Structure 1
């Protein structure tokens, strides 16, 4: 479940802890919470300290509350990579602003595309990163590297275009991309397998149950799910009851 709230109290203060606890109380699951994991920001720390105090007053927390507040590992990884970006932060800024300039006009995009074709570079749209997602910065830089020879030629057609990293700066970008490529591989290998299929659809034989586009579960696990569904139907006579209903 996801709680999204935008509210301010009578004193113009945002009290996240009270808002979350009221929701949990309303759903009657306040005594079933084991762990809450959040991003690493100061207001989350304050909110979780207050929530932990509230929970500890009404019941005994598991493991003495040591596992109550868990910090988001994905956010920690993002912060670590962002610190690593600092060595080429100016170059990343140049590439980012250059892409913004080009994408801001259809005419500029067409000019950039024409130059790419002239240099026999596979035409692909430049990507702009999301500041809170390190992997999108990697994607932006790796695509921009393919067009590093296009940027100076584009500047000849656009006198106001000044976002041109030099040879040394592009070399730094290549080095960082190699490091981030290894990190991205590690993320793919170490990621926890999930499925986006609704739980009831997992045990249904109608239509597409699970396919490669909606799930990353391994084939043997999928087979166990389906076999388990058939076993349950057999034990409880679901198919037999369905036939009787149809005949009637």
Structure 2
């Protein structure tokens, strides 16, 4: 068992190394369930047979403040471990102020391959995320209404079955609807997109079954669906752009323009 573990670890370490002449890497910080944060470094490079490859170099614990100095220190330590300090062609980070500070510290130490002009690449997907988050704040009240209705529908199996029966009765294919997640705006887009084709049946079912006090306004109105229809046009463009820019084995820098 000990020999197998040692062999596997050595192989894993060797596989993470690369003989590529230049490497682009991305970095981010992830929070674990144990309330511990880890800095991840992912390398992209062109192999000897001209294939674009991607490798996770390391998940390194960052149990201190996420300052530019601490981020730079851990990034540089990983690059040193893998002998990549003199091979860096670009660094892609999100737009957090600490990352800007860290790249100012890193640049003088890793600029040897291409200089500093194009060394720092800002994450386009993060920029899109900031745009969408700002836009969605303006319609948060409408989004909460959709979330409330979906939660109401999914709260009991009997209610889900009743909606399915209603859809069949009106000659519509029934489907389930999932709530979005606060940290993933694309799930908000998909939630609204999946609802829109079922506007009529969903509205009628909710207004019929959702309890309301006398004089209380309906939970979903034509204004809600008007907002849904128009926000989808806005989100679809950014969703498709994010998917294109999130390609793993294709160059994405030319797509920025």
Q: TM-score, normalised by structure 1?
A: 0.62
Superposition RMSD in Å: 3.2
In the alignment, which of 136, 143, 148 is matched to residue 92 of structure 1? 143
1:7 lines up with 2:74 in the alignment:
no
SS at match of 2:121: strand
1:34-53, aligned counterparts within 5 Å? 34-53=89-108
Aligned partners of 2:176 and 2:240: how far apart in 1? 23
Give 1:88 shift. 2.3
Identify the residue that residue 159 of structure 1 maps to in structure 2. 211
Q: Does the Cα contact within 8 Å between 1:88 and 1:173 map onto a contact in 2?
A: no
Q: Does the Cα contact within 8 Å between 1:95 and 1:163 map onto a contact in 2?
A: no
1:108 lines up with 2:163 in the alignment:
no
Give 1:41 shift. 1.8
Evaluate the alpha carbon distance shift between residue 180 and residue 13 of structure 1 in structure 2; reply closer, same or farther with a 3 A threshold: closer
1:122 lines up with 2:173 in the alignment:
yes
Identify the residue that residue 25 of structure 1 maps to in structure 2. 80
Structure number having the greater strand percentage: 2
Aligned partners of 1:157 and 1:104: how far apart in 2? 13
Of the two, which has the highest radius of gyration?
A: 1
SS at match of 1:67: coil
Give 1:21 shift. 1.2
Give 1:25 shift. 0.7
Q: Does the Cα contact within 8 Å between 1:152 and 1:164 map onto a contact in 2?
A: no
Q: Does the Cα contact within 8 Å between 2:129 and 2:185 map onto a contact in 1?
A: yes
Aligned partners of 2:102 and 2:246: how far apart in 1? 28
Identify the residue that residue 30 of structure 2 maps to in structure 1. none
Give 1:78 shift. 2.2
Give 1:163 shift. 8.3
Give 1:134 shift. 3.6
SS at match of 2:182: coil
Evaluate the alpha carbon distance shift between residue 41 and residue 107 of structure 1 in structure 2; reply closer, same or farther with a 3 A threshold: farther
Identify the residue that residue 143 of structure 1 maps to in structure 2. 194
The answer for unaligned runs of 5 or more in structure 2 is: 1-54, 251-257
SS at match of 2:211: coil
Q: Does the Cα contact within 8 Å between 1:112 and 1:154 map onto a contact in 2?
A: no
Aligned partners of 1:175 and 1:28: how far apart in 2? 50
In the alignment, which of 110, 116, 119 is matched to residue 68 of structure 1? 119
1:196-215, aligned counterparts within 5 Å? none
Q: Does the Cα contact within 8 Å between 2:103 and 2:120 map onto a contact in 1?
A: yes
Aligned partners of 2:199 and 2:208: how far apart in 1? 14
Aligned partners of 1:40 and 1:5: how far apart in 2? 20
Structure number having the greater helix percentage: 1
Q: TM-score, normalised by structure 2?
A: 0.60
